[in-house]
Amino acid sequence: MIKKKLLDQPIQRACVIPLIFISLMSYSPSVQAQLTNSIQNTVKNLPFQSFKQLTLPRNGAPTGRRRGGAGRSPDCPSNLTRLTALVPGNGGESVLASTVAENPTFWFYVPQLPQTTRSGEFVLQVLDGKDVQYVYRTRLTLSEKPGIVSITLPTQPQYSLKVDKKYHWYFHIYCGDPEKTSDNFYVDGFVQRQALTETLNSQLKSAKPKEYIVYSANNIWYDAVTNLGQQRRTNPQNATLNQDWVNLLNAVGLQDIAQEPIVQNYNLEK
């Protein structure tokens, strides 16, 4: 059986860099259109301001494991210690971060794996006081290529995140056949969905296609990395996207994997 430990420790909120938007309601349609175009151009030309480096939380929210750990079997490749969750944190610990998505995407760096160590598992649980309930659990066959992978939750309602609930996720890589061994390396962390406000929705519409600027400025990590990561994957030669990606990962202390390619997206529709 896989041992999972909930760490009931706290979070220190990252600094939020506000974006300023003008109310258009009092202007004529022609003036509104001019202002809207001006706002959109301003947002699209904003320099990318990323997350601030986080310190470990001291009173309140849970922490998890950001770098690969566990695995005592000699069958476990030593480089699995490089398994990394692309989440805010400090050193090897991850901290609670936000999303506005009902079915968010989770990002990980997976090192080179031998043929015998390509079985993975993604687990999502919801925390309700002291009770822990499974929301989703699935096995994955991992790529032979080292690099960054993403895992997107299915869109069925039973897998959707509820606003203000805390969720605990795990990503395991087994040291051999999972039917024969439970030994594995894993990372884990926490996500909380917040409501999409009218103001934030307006900012996102104005920022298209660079929504990650708004997500990052509002400290919404999971959606910032997903929006930017998806664009980087489809436009791998885009220098601006590549630099913004490096800046985002550097800001949370993940500079060692900032140059790694994005090699796989697991869309878990069933």
Provide, for the chain, the percentages of residues in helix, strand and coil under a 3-state DSSP scheme, each rounded to the nearest 5. 25, 30, 45
> For position 199, what pLDDT does the model report?
94
The partner residues of 152 in beta bridges, in order of sequence, read 105, 267
Helices 221-234 and 239-251, packing angle to 10 deg? 150
Report the pLDDT averaged over residues 182-206. Answer: 94
- Could you give the dihedral angle defined by the CA atoms of residues 188, 193, 194 and 195, in that order, rounded to the nearest 10 degrees? 160
Count CB-CB contacts under 10 A for residue 192.
19
pLDDT per residue over 8-20, tens digit each? 333 333 333 343 3
Structural contact between residues 252 and 245, judged by C-beta atoms closer than 8 angstroms: no
- State which amino acid sits at residue 254: L
Average pLDDT for 41-64: 56
Q: Is the separation of the CB atoms in 75 and 176 below 8 Å?
A: yes
Phi (first) and psi of residue 4, to 5 degrees: -125, 135
Percent of the chain scored above 90 by pLDDT? Answer: 59
> pLDDT at residue 183 above 70?
yes
Q: Does the pTM exceed 0.75?
A: yes
Question: What distance in Å separates the CA atoms of residue 14 and residue 60, rounded to the nearest whole number?
Answer: 14
Of 264 and 130, more confident: 264
Is it the case that residue 42 has pLDDT exceeding 80? Answer: no
* Token pair belonging to 202: 């307006």
Tell which residue, 68, 146, 77, 82, has the closest CA to residue 116. Answer: 77
Torsion angles phi and psi, residue 238, rounded to 5: -75, 115
Counting residues of the chain whose pLDDT is more than 70, the rounded percentage is 77
CA-based torsion, 30, 36, 37, 42: positive or negative: positive
Residue 231 CA neighbour count, 13 Å, CB half: 19
Domains and CATH numbers, the chain: 63-267 (2.60.40.2550)
Burial of 124 (0-12, 13-18, 19+ CB in 10 A): buried
Sequential DSSP letters for 113-139: --TTS-EEEEEEEEEETTEEEEEEEEE
Give the pLDDT confidence score for residue 232 in this predicted structure: 96
Helix (H, G, I), strand (E, B) or coil at 248: helix
Higher pLDDT, 18 or 187: 187
Residue 270's pLDDT band (cuts 50, 70, 90): low
